[in-house]
Amino acid sequence: MQFDTLKFADEEVAALIKENRLLRPRVLRSAQEPVADIDGKRVVNLTSNNYLALANHPEVKKAAVAAIEKYGTGSAAVRTIIGTMSIHEELEEKFAAFKRADAAILFQSGFTSNVAVCQSLISAPEDLLISDELNHASIIDGARLAKGPRKIYRHKDMKHLEEILGSPEARKARRKMVVTDGVFSMDGDIAPLDEIVALAGRYGAFVMVDDAHASGVIGEQGRGTVNHFGLDGKVEIQIGTLSKAFAAVGGYAATTRSLRDYLGSVARPFLFSSSQPPSVAATCLAVLDILLKEPARLKSLWDNTALFKEELKKAGFDTGSSVTPITPVMVGDTEKALKFSRRLFEEGVFALAIGFPTVPKGKERLRTIVTAGHTVKDIEFAAEKFKKAGKELGII
């Protein structure tokens, strides 16, 4: 099919190819497992966010099937029309308790959760959103849709954050919200949430933390960054996704009852997009039950993380500032990162290359995640292949 009016797309694709930015994703042909069939090849999968290895768990699948039998395949409506099912409310109640918040509200994705909250709360020119420079793209887009201005502070730089909070613009703001990722998705480091909360309190701001890569991963029973810092009940808004450790799709905001009700009445993604399929809510409920009753699963995640980091560092790789299962392997060049990823795949390991604009130029890397389901043999195999390919390409 040809359209002269769309010839510009050919030029755009050519430019992306020239810049090594055209994305052609590999295809998963099996369940999302620690060792999976990707593009017809069985490989150790170090790219999935399936932290707890629950995406193919028998109990989880059984719960999803049971929900389909009871509720059908979809809600066929937005929450405020007739798309609120009892299973949605059950998940909201249990997730609020898990996060030790008064209430929670479900969204269709982690992305829409961030957009919804930023857009709904920074709703006038007199408001101010203050954001870490390495926050997720969904926070950036949410800030762009907000009606108030935004200020960006240098990554985890508390002095810079305080300068912004103490500025004349911030002092006169009607509302000011400090937004940070809990665990940063490309570097695997953790926000200094205790310091952020202290500064926000001093200057009359409230805090929103995106725990996409922290829920189910850090804190007591995987409760997230807020719990990790002993701040239960002291952070106004906890955001997250249900597509990573919770092995499904969707997002949430855990907060006060009144703010939950406010978001349920004004947040555009909530009002204008159909609710989660009941099988998705059932999946999340089953994962939550497993997380709470099987502490060994979380321990396995962290034991595997420690082993893989140790093996990479012994080999001489630079893993940046990571202290979580997200472990970047720094390369610093787009073409070399792509070659590294391709060479590893040939050797039986899938580790995705990440380049500009997802990360700054000169910070290109392979981004890896080990899960609770990887065996010691999987990890040692992957580490050996990293060493082999890294030496071939002159990375170590």
Q: State the burial class of residue 232 (Cβ atoms within 10 Å of its Cβ: 0-12, 13-18, 19+).
A: middle
112-131 confidence digits (pLDDT tens):
999 999 999 999 999 999 99
Q: Please compute the mean of the pLDDT values over residues 380-384 and round it to a whole number.
A: 98
pLDDT of residue 356: 86
Strand spans (E) along 182-325: 206-210, 237-241, 251-255
Of 292, 278, 280, the C-alpha closest to 248 is 280
In angstroms, rounded to a whole number, what is the distance separating the alpha carbons of residues 169 and 167? Answer: 5
312 near 326, Cβ under 8 Å?
no
Q: Which residues in the chain are classed under CATH 3.90.1150.10?
A: 22-53+295-392
* Residue 234 pLDDT class (50, 70, 90 cuts): very high
- Sorting pLDDT into bands at 50, 70 and 90, what band is 2? confident
Q: Which of 362, 378, 384 is nearest to 312 (CA)?
A: 384
Going by C-alpha positions, the residue among 300, 308, 317, 301 that lies closest to residue 349 is 308
Q: Counting beta carbons within 10 angstroms of the beta carbon of residue 91, is it exposed (0 to 12), middle (13 to 18) or buried (19 or more)?
A: buried
- Please give the Cα distance from 231 to 225 (Å, whole number): 8
pTM of the model: 0.95
| pLDDT for position 111 | 96
At 199, list the tokens. 């500064």
Q: Residue 163: how many CB atoms within 10 A of its CB?
A: 13
149 pLDDT exceeds 90?
yes
What local confidence, expressed as pLDDT, does residue 237 receive? 98
For 167-177, the pLDDT digits (tens) are 999 999 999 99
In this structure, how many other beta carbons lie within 10 angstroms of the beta carbon of residue 13? 12
> In which band, very low, low, confident or very high, does the pLDDT at 159 lie, cut at 50, 70 and 90?
very high
In angstroms, how far is CA 35 from the centroid of its own chain?
A: 22
Question: Are the C-beta atoms of 396 and 387 separated by less than 8 Å?
Answer: yes
As a whole number, the mean pLDDT across the chain is 97
Looking at residue 308, what is its pLDDT? 98
- 209 burial (CB, 10 Å; 0-12 / 13-18 / 19+) is buried
CATH of 58-292, one of 3.40.640.10, 2.70.150.10, 3.50.50.60, 3.40.630.30: 3.40.640.10
Query: For position 51, what pLDDT does the model report?
Result: 98
Model confidence pLDDT, tens digit, residues 71-106: 999 999 999 999 999 999 999 999 999 999 999 999
Q: Which residue has the tokens 């955001």?
A: 239
pLDDT-wise least confident of 49-53, 296-300, 318-322, 354-358: 354-358
Q: In angstroms, rounded to a whole number, what is the distance separating the alpha carbons of residues 179 and 39?
A: 38
- CA–CA gap between residue 192 and residue 199 (Å, rounded): 11
Give pLDDT, residue 25: 94
pLDDT at 373: 98
User: Which single residue is written with the structure tokens 């939950």?
Assistant: 260
For domain 22-53+295-392, say whether CATH 3.90.1150.10 is its number: yes
Question: Rounded CA gap, 43 and 15, in Å?
Answer: 31
pLDDT tens readout for residues 241-278: 999 999 999 999 999 999 999 999 999 999 999 999 99
Point out the residues that are catalytic: 185, 213, 244
Q: What residues contact 181, with CB distance under 8 A and at least 6 apart?
A: 132, 134, 135, 136, 139, 191, 209, 210, 212, 213
Q: Tell me what pLDDT residue 182 has.
A: 98
Give the Å distances, CA to CA, from 10 to 14, 25, 258, 357.
6, 19, 50, 20
First to last CA, the chain: 47
Tell me if residue 151 falls in helix, strand or coil. Answer: strand
pLDDT of amino acid 19 = 87
